[in-house]
Amino acid sequence: MKNINPINTDAWKKLQQHFIEIKNIHIKNFFDKFPNRYKTMFRNFQDAIFIDFSKNRLNEETLNLLFQLCEETHLRSAINAMFEGKKINVTENRSVLHTALRNRTIHPIFSGNLNVMPLIHDELNRIKNFSDTVIQGIWKGYTEKNITDIVNIGIGGSDLGPKMVVESLKDYQNHLKIHFVSNIDGSHIKSVLDQVNPETTLFIVVSKTFNTEETLFNAHYAKEWFFKRTKLKNIKILAKHFIAVSENITKTISFGIPRENIFQFWDWVGGRYSLWSAVGLSIVLSLGFDNFLSLLDGAYNMDQHFFHNEFYNNIPVILALISIWYMNFFNTETEAIFPYDQNMINFPFYLQQAVMESNGKSINRLGKRVQWKTCPVIWGSPGTNGQHAFYQMLHQGTTLIPCDFIISITPNHTLLEHHNRLTAHFIAQTRALAFGSNDNFLKCKYHNQDKDFLHIFQSLQGNHPSNSILLNHLNPFSLGSLIALYEHKIFVQGVILNIFSFDQWGVELGKQLASEIYADITSSCSTIKYDTSTNNIINLCKKRKKN
């Protein structure tokens, strides 16, 4: 990929001047001047996803300059490089081929000299065969009882993605109960193990390297719990209840999981982009293989949209550019994700990792510190809960926060009056944020108040931007498309902002320090080798635990 700092481009300089001209224009004024602007700021993805980005503080000139920025930073060649398997993850010398995992064609895709498609198809067949045996009751526990519970042990991308998909698509779940353990906090695994029976439970240990401390510690605890509860310590019996997803075959076998129970995890797939692989075994076991294929198909179709469409009609590109516009010209710090669907409660958490672990970087691809913003803080919660919590700040606070509102037009339940009210709130919030209420009094029960005085506090200025993302129906296909949309949005931002999106060196220091500090916490002598604050905390914990 080309190493071009965005601030050195002509487009960026023009955007700076354009921002001065446009920054004080109210969204209402954009609609007053062009009432039908929604027609040019509306995109339809296969009648499955509809995007309205007209309630943003930008116009056609803004978009054209942002598209020029794409050209000057060579976005198209970067897209081609990723899909072709070029080693764009330079710091780890790896290809980035999560798109190959959902590729539904037989055309070869290479990582170096290796055609990865036969590997992917072979593993998909293994996933299908395995999941069918478990779901159909062919796979038995050590007492010949059917499996009833699945416990996925992983962390980060080995937990957040699968958990989000399973929860989002709970209306498609079968009879198996799916549990997730990630935190090294003992209360997490204890609360899960208290719910399951070792005779009917299948554990899936997911770790790319099989070195992740939290995952391995929880996996060893689960293994000891299994042996203690069954009063048996037999590797053959263990094989009926433990599966692994890893690229480190040797360490996995030494744990006690036989080779035939190990599913492949390749180094050209990043953890936070891995739910499409065997990392998604919990998804397949929950939804069935056909629904998993539909999830892949949705993502593949979004891949094709992203790869083939011109930037003007390219949904991931447009949303990425809008985010760059707010971050670097309006100086916004955060972006909020509001799924108006209780089943999508984990979607903002999933995007926190996907976005911030990818683009939370301050060094550009040339190894120099950046002079522009690369990543917003991602947060959010399901509507309408947030309306009774933090929306007050969105409407009248001092911080500008761009928002994505997500809803299904058709619900998965039959409570249509509930959904009509939910949809009304969804639409109302985007309108209220954009247009405010400055011209009208809000209804208020305090009629004895001075109306002119009260109006000052009731006034909502509006001019707060949002994107409306409507799914025709929340199903495996549309969710797969939506996830891939955000994946490509992240990639586009990384390319344009000249950073590496597919490494995560920032998480390593804390891991190393934790290993060192663990030795100090468990030692009998006082600790004096760190700064005074750290020494004091360690010694306080040791002293209190003794008492």
Per-residue pLDDT, averaged over 380-391, amounts to: 96
Angle at 181 between CA 179 and CA 182, to 5 degrees: 145
Q: Are 325 and 376 in contact (CB under 8 A)?
A: no
CA-CA-CA-CA torsion sign (177, 182, 186, 187): negative
Phi, then psi, of 179 in degrees rounded to 5: -125, 150
Angle between helical axes of 75-83 and 476-496 (0-180°, round to 10)? 130
Tell me the three state secondary structure of residue 465: coil
Q: Of 182, 174, 188, 181, which Cα lies nearest the Cα of 146?
A: 174
Instruction: Give CA separation, 138 vs 131, 146, 202, 242, 346, in Å.
Output: 10, 8, 13, 16, 32
Write down all domains in the chain, each with its CATH number in brackets.
Answer: 6-72+309-502 (3.40.50.10490), 100-292 (3.40.50.10490), 506-546 (1.10.1390)
* CB environment 276-287: b (16+ within 10 A), e (fewer): bbbbbbbbbbbb
Token pair, residue 79, equals 């897209």
Catalytic residue among 61, 511, 516, 543: 511
Band the pLDDT of 439: cuts 50, 70, 90. Answer: low
- What is the C-alpha separation between 281 and 152, in angstroms, rounded? 9
Token pair, residue 340, equals 């108006």
Q: Are 284 and 123 in contact (CB under 8 A)?
A: no
- What is the C-alpha separation between 542 and 524, in angstroms, rounded? 8
C-alpha distance across the termini of the chain, in Å: 58
Per-residue pLDDT at 445 exceeds 60: no
Bridge partners, 110 (sequence order):
115
Please give the DSSP secondary-structure letter assigned to residue 208.
Answer: S
Q: Are 63 and 324 in contact (CB under 8 A)?
A: no
Please give the DSSP secondary-structure letter assigned to residue 463.
Answer: -
Token pair, residue 119, equals 């590997």
Among the listed ranges 227-236, 367-376, 453-462, which one has the minimum average pLDDT value? 453-462
Per-residue pLDDT, averaged over 335-354, amounts to: 98
The pLDDT, as a whole number, for residue 545 is 77
Catalytic residue among 39, 175, 236, 388: 388
More confident residue, 443 or 170: 170
Percent of the chain clearing pLDDT 90 (strictly above): 92
Percent of the chain clearing pLDDT 70 (strictly above): 97
Give catalytic status of residue 357 as yes or no.
yes
- Quote the mean pLDDT of the chain: 95
Tell me the three state secondary structure of residue 298: helix
Phi, then psi, of 159 in degrees rounded to 5: -130, -50
The pLDDT, as a whole number, for residue 105 is 86
Angle at 100 between CA 95 and CA 101, to 5 degrees: 115
Band the pLDDT of 437: cuts 50, 70, 90. Answer: confident
Burial class (CB in 10 A: 0-12, 13-18, 19+), 458: middle
The pLDDT, as a whole number, for residue 233 is 86
Per-residue pLDDT, averaged over 317-333, amounts to: 98
Tell me the three state secondary structure of residue 263: strand
Q: Of 318, 321, 319, 328, which Cα lies nearest the Cα of 13?
A: 328
Per-residue pLDDT at 501 exceeds 90: yes
Per-residue pLDDT at 373 exceeds 90: yes
The predicted model scores a pTM of 0.97
Quote helix, strand, coil % in the chain, to nearest 5. 55, 10, 35
Per-residue pLDDT, averaged over 245-260, amounts to: 96
Q: Of 472, 480, 302, 326, which Cα lies nearest the Cα of 404?
A: 326
Give catalytic status of residue 107 as yes or no.
no
Residues in Cβ contact with 190 at an 8 Å cutoff, skipping those fewer than 6 apart:
none
pLDDT digits (tens, 9 = 90+) for 17-55: 999 999 999 999 999 999 999 999 999 999 999 999 999
Catalytic residue among 199, 214, 335, 357: 357
Tell me the three state secondary structure of residue 284: helix
Give catalytic status of residue 388 as yes or no.
yes
- Label the pairing between strands 49-52 and 42-45: antiparallel
The pLDDT, as a whole number, for residue 368 is 97
Per-residue pLDDT at 442 exceeds 70: no
Tell me the three state secondary structure of residue 517: helix
Q: Are 14 and 65 in contact (CB under 8 A)?
A: yes
Q: Write the single-letter amino acid at 76.
A: R
Token pair, residue 279, equals 């990392």
The pLDDT, as a whole number, for residue 320 is 99
